[in-house]
Amino acid sequence: MQSANAKKFRSELKDYMDAAVSEPVRINRRDGQSFILMSEQVYEGFRNEIQSLQRRLLGMSEIIDGKTLPLAKGEDRTSRFKKAK
């Protein structure tokens, strides 16, 4: 991961934006704060992965808490989600 201070980042913004297409860039402020510049595609990938992990965690905690029903032998796994006619 490339790294730059805020002053250098401002002066070479285009170069750092081009670099962020292939890898995130860390921008450091004098006061110790850090920021990450990344492409929108990478950001969306991270968001999707986090949402997927959150859904899995929720499902696992429902199983642990006993909030699920066992699947009967031969039952269609999607039948519970289909609307009754």
**Amino acid code (one letter) for 32:** G
Residue 85 pLDDT exceeds 70: no
DSSP string, 23-75: S-EEEE-TTS-EEEE--HHHHHHHHHHHHHHHHHHHHHHHHHTT-S-PPPTT-
pLDDT band at 69 (very low <50, low <70, confident <90, very high): confident
pTM of the model: 0.63
pLDDT of residue 64: 87
Domains and CATH numbers, the chain: 2-64 (3.40.1620.10)
Residue 4 pLDDT exceeds 70: yes
Total Cβ atoms within 10 A of residue 75: 11
pLDDT of residue 84: 65
Encode pLDDT of 11-64 as tens digits. Answer: 999 999 999 999 999 999 999 999 999 999 999 999 999 999 999 999 899 888
What's the whole-number mean pLDDT along residues 63-71?
A: 83
Cα–Cα distance, 36 to 28 (Å, whole number): 9
